[in-house]
Each structure stands twice: as structure tokens, then as C-alpha cells.
Chain A
């Protein structure tokens, strides 16, 4: 008998918490706290406490499947890869799209973008980061020089004002909520914007600004005008480290607080209190998430929070900044690796120069120099699609339309660990190894690179994602460019191509509990917990103000669709629920979908708690159970997006942010009827 306590990192969100797994004779039989790990110090959230059960779910994909006579049937790897290779050889570059995942490792993601660019000759490579945090890059690269999180998790404890902008922290980043509690114990104040009175509003926030969904820009403009009126702007910081302040000041001169209060639904006094609290802080820390970015004005929203931070000098210090909270295990890393149609690895913008750099690095010619198309566009426009570790049939707005488009695809490959909604439409389904079934690195929320070791074997014939792509590349005639014998070899190439990772090695990651924060330019460099301490990463080193005009949501309620709809998450589930719905203790907590309805709205509509209701928008209909609660204000309904049998994104609107192409999944107009 062999029984061992082995450390790893939680497979769920982007905190990157440590856990100890108990491995007995090659099988995981339990988990225990890993007290040394600096992110969580031995404590875990409900998902982290139930981290491994999904691995052993009966319905893991174990063999390649090929659609024959309309049905997916087991096939050999040879057969499946041969079929894919022959089909992809037919595809013109612009007809092919690859969608990687926030669940992939860095090594997987790197190989996927390289495959798309080298073998398929296109920049049509994206990942699900497009759907949640693409406004970070669009807004923060011009403002500050990087879309990544600016401070590290532990340093959040240093802040004396924490502004939770559209992030239900207690449910979505519980171990960061702990940092905020620690900061509060030292006197910090917590401001929170959310239309819902969530557990974060009730049990973490000091000032809850319960704004109307999608009115963030108006709120921040009002807060900035208060700060200027009170003379609380950081004049020295503005003078020495920023540009464009005069334009912003002129723009803000026309802000009318009363009008802002009407737009946002937040009383003037509360706006003032929040503005003054944030401005007077020594170290203000903005943490923001999808509540900010999943709007067609997501980029504007993020820009305006950057304006606010620059105005008050709350950037370029540990525990400050405007921090995008990427939600997934590799939300940062898959972007770093270049799984975006506008960036080669290391955020080198697609163009002649970058193509040349990578032609040299990879020993190839004719790399694509024009940006590819973005995630949602690909679903509608690319007849050849390769989708790994994600389910557009669950997360993309207006799912009914997505389905119609995908049913028309010439050839759809889905590579995953479980059957998903989209795998039902696939021509070929490939089984992937997951989490501790392979060796890999990921990059967590605060640019924290950590390594996961292989502890158990994958089920059946499942293989690591990178290996599958390399085997496919080989069959398409590119063996020499994808000739990796291990994840470690890929990581060494990443270090050569991605300057931020140059100093990070497998060896160092093994020795550094908690990993290393990029940028890490050399093996002697300790990594960079906080960015911009000396200057911003912009060409002139300054922070740039970019004034933002408020725009109302793309679709607002009317007589026919009288409620606002917003979507989000529960602490007990994770995204499309593929893992958590297969974890008994989590599904027991929240077994099915629900819609939160304000008691007064419920009364008017004749809806009682636990009634089945039908929700309808201009795009689709779903049925779910009513949960009558004052967590939602009058006129707002909330639906979680974790459930395949009640898919929230059937309802949502495909209004896209013009620069980031992120969709407005956080607001649309809906009607509700009691199910007959």
C-alpha cells in the first residue's frame, strides 16, 4: 500500500489556492489543508474543499468519438486524428477558427495558438477570456500599459479602501474576501457596486451602491466630479504620472449629480460618501469583475475606473490599482500565451513586426500578419471550428442563434473532459486529460505562475491537450515544429518567446511555494507582485485619462419585456457547471437553476416562491424556479448561468463592446410568466 499526501493547486477559480491531496495506490481518496500555501494558508472555499470528485465522474470522456450516421461513436485516436487532419487540410485559413480555454494550461494554450498560426495560417485563435475580461486589455493598455491584475493578492490587505466594482467577492473569490476582511480589521472601508444585495453587500461592504445594471460609467463620472469639487484629487500624482487630465476635468464639468442619481438610482449623498471615502484613502484598491466588463460598454466602464484611480493616485503602489479579476485557473495565462486574435504570445500585437519575430523563433515563414476574428464572430463565420475546454452553447449570448450557426458548420471538433452541450453538435469529440492527470503550469489572477504535477493517470484513452494538438500537427506535416516530448520542453520555448516568463523555470516553480508573479525577466529576479511602481507600461510611462460618456444599456425594459435581467454565479457552482454539477456536495447545495425575483414584483406578477416561471426575451425562452427575495431590487431578475437544462444565455443579448467584442450578458429586457 502506498499512501501519500501531495500538494497541488485547486482547479477552480483564479485565486490559485493550495490543497493537499491524499493519493492511495494511484487514486485520490481525500484532501487536506495545505497550510503553507501563501494564497489560502490552509483554508478553502466550498469548491476548493470538493476539488477532485469531478475527476472520477462516470461520464468522463475516455475515447475519441466520431459522428457516423448522425451518431457519435467510439473510434481510435488514429482514426479520429486522421479524419481531423484531412478535414482541416480542406479549410482555407479564414475559414478556420480555434477556441482555446481558460482551463487549459499555459503549455496547452501556447501549442494551440502556434498550431493555428503555423499550421492553419490564421490568427483566428481565441479563448473564453474574450467573453469576460477582454475590456481589461482594451481599456487598461492605453490607460496604464497592461490589462493584468496590478497588485498581488496578499497586498490587498495593505489597502485602506477597497472598491469592489461589480464583483460579488464573497461568492466568486472567497479567499480574496478574506484579504478584504483582514484589511477591514485594520480599518479599511469597502465600497461595493452591484444592483443586487448579495452576501457581499450584506456581509462585507461598508458602502453598497446599489446602482441600476449598466450605469457604472455615470456613477464613476459623478464620483469623480465630487472628488474634484471637494479638491480631493491627488494633484502631485496627476502632475507627475499622468496625461490628459485637463480634458477629463473639462468633461466632468458638465456632470450633474442629480441627473447621475436619477440614472444610477444611487442617492447623491451615497455617491458623495463613496467618492470621498475612496479619494481620502492612502491606498485605494479597485477590484472589478464581470459586473463591469460584461456590457457592450465594458471597455468604457473599465476606462472610467482607471480614470478614478489615476485621479486619486491609487495606482502604482502595492495594494492599489485597477485590478481585473480573471475568474479561471488560466484566465491570465491563456491570454499571455497568445490565444487572442490580436496578440501573439506575450501580448505582441498582431502585425508584420510580430510575425517576423515569431517566424524567426519558430523557424517558419508566412505567419499571418492581419488580426483574426473574435470568439463570437468565429462561431458564426468559421465553417471549420476546433473548440477546447469550453462550451459556447452555454456561455455565449443568444444561444439559440449560436446553435443555428453551429449546426451549419462543416466540421466541428470538440476536445474536453466531459460531454457538453456543444459536444452534442460535434463531428469529432476528443477526450482530454485534466488537472492533476498531467504536468502543467497555469497563471492565476495576480500573474502568479504555479505548477501542477501529474499525480494520477487520465481515464481511458484521454491525453493531455498539448499532446493531442501536437499529434494533429504531425499528421498535417508539421512534426518538426511541434516535436515536444514533454510539457517542460514547451515551457522552455515559452520562456524564450514570452519575455514576462523568461526567468520562470519548472525548477524555480517547484522550489517557490505560491509560484512566481510575472514579469520575471531573469532567473535571479524574484518576480513582480505589484506593477507600475516606477512608471506605467505605456509608451510615455504615464497613466492616461480617457473621458467616458455614459451610454444606457443596449436593451432596456418596455411594456412587453418589463424587467431587467442580469446573470451571474453562485459560490457552490462554477461557470457552466460541468465540474460542480458532478460534485455531489455542491449540487446538493444548489441542485437546479432559479430566478431571483423581488417580493413586490412577485406579488404583482402573481408569482410565489418556488413557482415554475417562464422567462422570455426577444431571443428565447427558459423555464426556471422562482426564488422570491429582496436580494434583487424592484424591476430586476437574476439568473445563474451554471445549468445546462435552464441555460441563462438563451435569454441574453448579443450586443458587443465595439473595441473588446465582449458581450452584454449582464443586462437585457425580459418578461416573466407563471408556468401554466
Chain B
């Protein structure tokens, strides 16, 4: 049932050899497909075995699940968008989807907007302490680790260290905070992310609280998740045991440490924005948005944006067409339309050819709104976004102000 905790591993030797941490996730996906719990699995694989080039895949043949086994850190495909845009939001079929916390949050935000049918989804959440952009990861491996990126066969983030595993079997590690001080390391948004365990998914799977990397710690987060795990156990696809009190504490501590690092980054990143005077802020953001070339990359990548006929399109008459940079209405409308629901996935900033620090701004605003309305995006499908539910009375409360 919801709230159950397990230490799980696959019973299939073929899976445990290929997968990490006992292959519980791979086994669950295979079980879901084989037993028609899902018509398809959406997961991420390294294209042609390239760890820096991860793409979403739709799998219907259980034999193909193995190609998605193992964790990838230099990857940030847009899973929620993929479901919404190309799989009709799971309208017509049951899908088991593997999701990092931000993916799961985005799925839930899209479900609130009737873009994804949660009834047809099983969300297998994966713990995550951050991802790296491929180009930056390669530069980091070359410069800080002094290794050929092609020789890296695994990455891990553990106790605030970045660990890489090399072809020759050796491992190298570096202090993550130190790397990131130098501008190397995880994507900006990931550095600020406090959600390491995806409890908004149906189950949350990760290595924390396990020993010897041979099993997966599973937290059951919904009745749907409980059913999947219980059925898989009953069918013999995975075997489980109850984690010890020490294991549970160890997991909590790891989560706490990662949250604290994220909070430090939030303080630091937000402070640089907050400390500016009103004029400085205005100048800073005017300068940033003056770089915009109106590619719509941020909008298209945003998993929360969903309008078929966007107000910002050239033919809608709001933003004067054909101008670069576009009128300031363009970024302002973009931001206000999503700022109550930002899941801090960072996709907007990844897609920006001019490297405008969009995720920093939108996440900051989202935090402020969240504090006012006691709302956290992406956590609960039944809780609607504040800018949709705000009442006239709330709008007239004095002394509540948000500035960029």
C-alpha cells in the first residue's frame, strides 16, 4: 500500500547483469509490458550506446526493455512533452513511464490541464540529484578529470561527489560543490532542485538506503504503485525485503544532504537577482531579453505550456511580428503564463540559443507564488494552479507583491 518501503531486485539474471542496483526498475517495466499492465513503456536510452545522447523511446516488446537499463546523468530528454505531444497524452493507451522528479511533476501539471491522462499512466519515478548537459559534461571530464569522455562508462552523484567510472574499471571522483563553483557540473536548475525522491510518482526508486549497489530502494507512493509492485512480487519478477531502520535513516540523510546543497544554490542564485535594486533588475533583465531571437525554443520546450493556439504566435496580434528581439511582452507573457506552475525542469534554458537564465527567473517567481498560495507545482494532481483558482478577494489583498 501507499507508504510501503521495499528493498527490491530483479529475479532475472539477464537483467541483473545488464542493469544497475539489482535491476528492479527494468524488471518492473518488463513485468508491466508482459502482463498487459501497460501497452507501452516510455523510457530513455543511450542512442547507439552513446551516454551523452539520451533519447526517449517507446517500447512495446518486452525484449527491448533491456536497452534502457542503467542510469544516465548526461541526459535530460523532455519526457512529459514527449507523452503529451507525440503519444496523445496517453489518451488511447496505457503507458508505464520512467520519470525523474521534474518529469513526474511536469506530467502531473499537464494532467491538471487535461493534456495527459493519468489514469492511463504508471509513473515509475527515479531518484535524481541532477543531470549534466552533454557538452558541459564532456568539457568537465576533459578538463577537471583529465579523461577522454569516450572512456567514461558510468557516472554517479553520491555524498555530494561526482564519481565517474572508466572503461578500464577505475573510478575517479571530485567534490561537486567545488566543480560547480568553477562553473562545471550540473545544469543550473538541477543545482537548485530540492526534489531528489519523486514521491509524486506512483513509486519512487533509487539507490539510497541500499548496500553494495545490488538492489533498489522503492517507496510506494500511490495505490496504483502498490498494485504494480505487489503484482510483480507475486509473479516472481522481483523479490523484495523490508528495509532496516538504518537503511531508512541512511536514505533520509542522503536526501537531506542533497536538499541542503540545493538550498545553498538557491540562496546563492536567487541572491544575485534579489540583491539588485529595482533599476538594476530592470537593466539586467532588459539586457538578457534583448538577446532573444524569438525562436520559441523556451515555449516549445516548456512542459507546462500546452495551448494549441498560443497567444504569442505572430498571427495573434499581441506581439508585433517579425521583430528580433521581440517586444518585451513576449518574455513577460511567457513567464507569467507558467510561473505559478514551474517544475524547475530547466528545459527552457537548455533550449535557449542566447543562454538567457530563464529557469532561474521562473523558478524564483514560482517559489514566491508558491509561498503566498501554499502551493507546490507538480506534487498533487488534484491541487489546481493558483493563477487559475485565485479569487477576486485574494487578488485584492494588500501588501502582497511579486517583483522580478
Contact B76 A35 (CB under 8 A): yes
B interface footprint on A157-200 (CB within 8 Å = 1, 0 otherwise): 00000000000001100110110011000000000000000010
* Residue from the list A45, A513, A585 in contact with B353, Cβ < 8 A: A45
Decide if A41 is an interface residue (CB 8 Å cutoff).
yes
Chain A residues whose C-beta falls within 8 Å of the C-beta of B47 in the assembled complex: 5, 7
Q: Are B295 and A45 in contact (CB under 8 A)?
A: yes
A571 touches B351 (CB 8 A): no
Interface centre among B133, B296, B322 (most CB of A within 10 A): B322
Q: Which residues of A contact B4 (CB under 8 A)?
A: none
Residues A43 and B352 in contact in the complex (CB < 8 Å), given A35-B76, A588-B315, A589-B314: yes
Chain B residues near A44 (CB-CB < 8 A)? 295, 297, 351, 353
B321-A20 in contact (CB<8A): no
5 A-B residue pairs with Cβ-Cβ distance under 8 Å, sorted by A, are A35-B133, A42-B133, A45-B353, A48-B295, A181-B355
Tell me the A600-616 residues at the B interface (CB within 8 Å): none
Identify the closest chain B residue to A32 (Cβ): B78
| Chain A residues in 8 Å Cβ range of B295 | 43-46, 48-49, 174
Contacts of B315 in A (CB 8 A): 588
What's the least CB distance linking A27 to chain B, in Å?
12
CB of A203 closer than 8 Å to a CB of B = yes
Taken together as a complex, chains A and B put the C-alpha atoms of A179 and B302 apart, in Å, by: 24
Instruction: Check A46 against B313 for contact (C-beta < 8 Å).
Output: no
Residues of A whose CB lies within 8 Å of any CB of B are 1, 3-5, 7, 20, 22, 24, 29-30, 32-36, 38, 40-46, 48-49, 170-171, 174-175, 177-178, 181-182, 199, 202-203, 513, 570-572, 585, 588-591
Chain B interface residue count: which class? Answer: 35 or more
> 10 nearest interchain CB pairs?
A43-B353, A588-B314, A36-B134, A5-B55, A590-B322, A36-B53, A589-B322, A589-B314, A588-B315, A41-B135
Give Cα distance in the complex from A1 to B295, angstroms. 31
Interchain CA distance A181-B288 in the complex, whole Å: 11
User: Which residue of A30, A46, A178, A590 is within 8 Å of B296 (Cβ)?
Assistant: A46
For the complex formed, measure the closest distance between the CB of B385 and the CB atoms of chain A, giving whole angstroms.
25
Contact across chains for A572 and B58 when beta carbons are under 8 A apart:
no
B98 at the binding interface (Cβ < 8 Å): no
7 additional A-B pairs beyond A49-B300, A170-B324, A181-B354, beta carbons within 8 Å, are: A3-B87, A5-B47, A5-B57, A32-B81, A45-B293, A46-B295, A589-B314
Residue of B nearest to A584 (CB): B315
Expressed in whole angstroms, the minimum distance between the Cβ of B354 and any Cβ of chain A is 6
Which of B86, B300, B325 touches A22 (beta carbons < 8 Å)?
A: B86
Q: Given A30-B86, A42-B350, A49-B296, are A571 and B53 also a contact pair (CB < 8 Å)?
A: no
Task: Name the B residues within 8 Å of A40 (CB-CB).
Answer: 353
Expressed in whole angstroms, the Cα–Cα distance for A589 and B351 within the complex equals 20
Contact of B223 with A by CB under 8 A: no
Q: What chain B residues lie within 8 Å of A22 (beta carbons)? A: 85-86
Write the nearest CB–CB distance from B317 to chain A, whole angstroms. Answer: 11
Chain A residue at minimal CB-CB distance from B45: A5
**Interface residues of A, dominant DSSP:** mixed
A interface footprint on B281-310 (CB within 8 Å = 1, 0 otherwise) = 000000000110111110011000000000
Contact present for B52 and A36 (CB under 8 Å): yes
The distance from the CB of A526 to the nearest CB of chain B, in whole angstroms, is: 12
B383 in the interface, Cβ–Cβ < 8 Å?
no
Whole-angstrom distance between the alpha carbons of A648 and B76 in the complex?
Answer: 45
Query: Which of B50, B58, B324, B351 contacts A199, CB < 8 Å?
Result: B324
A41 to B296 alpha-carbon distance, docked (Å): 16
Complex contacts, B81 vs chain A, CB 8 Å: 32
- Among residues of A, the one whose C-beta sits closest to the C-beta of B137 is A36
For residue B70, CB closer than 8 A to chain A, the reply is no
Contacts of B296 in A (CB 8 A): 46, 49, 585
Does B56 interact with chain A (Cβ within 8 Å)? yes
Residue of B nearest to A588 (CB): B314
Distance of A484 Cα from B300 Cα, bound (Å): 42
Docked CA distance A35–B50 (Å):
13
B residues 305-333 with Cβ under 8 Å of A?
313-315, 321-322, 324-325
A435 to B230, CA, bound (A): 50
Do B350 and A33 touch (CB < 8 A)?
A: yes
> Nearest residue in A to B136 (C-beta to C-beta)?
A41
B128 to chain A, nearest CB (A): 17
Q: Which residues of B in the span 341-384 have a Cβ within 8 Å of any Cβ on A?
A: 350-355
Q: Give chain B residues whose Cβ lies under 8 Å from the Cβ of A570.
A: 322
B314 lies within 8 A of A585 (CB): yes
Q: Is the CB of A41 within 8 A of B134?
A: yes
Inter-chain CA distance A407–B315, complex, in Å, is 39
CA distance A171 to B324 in the complex (A): 8
Q: Are B133 and A181 in contact (CB under 8 A)?
A: no
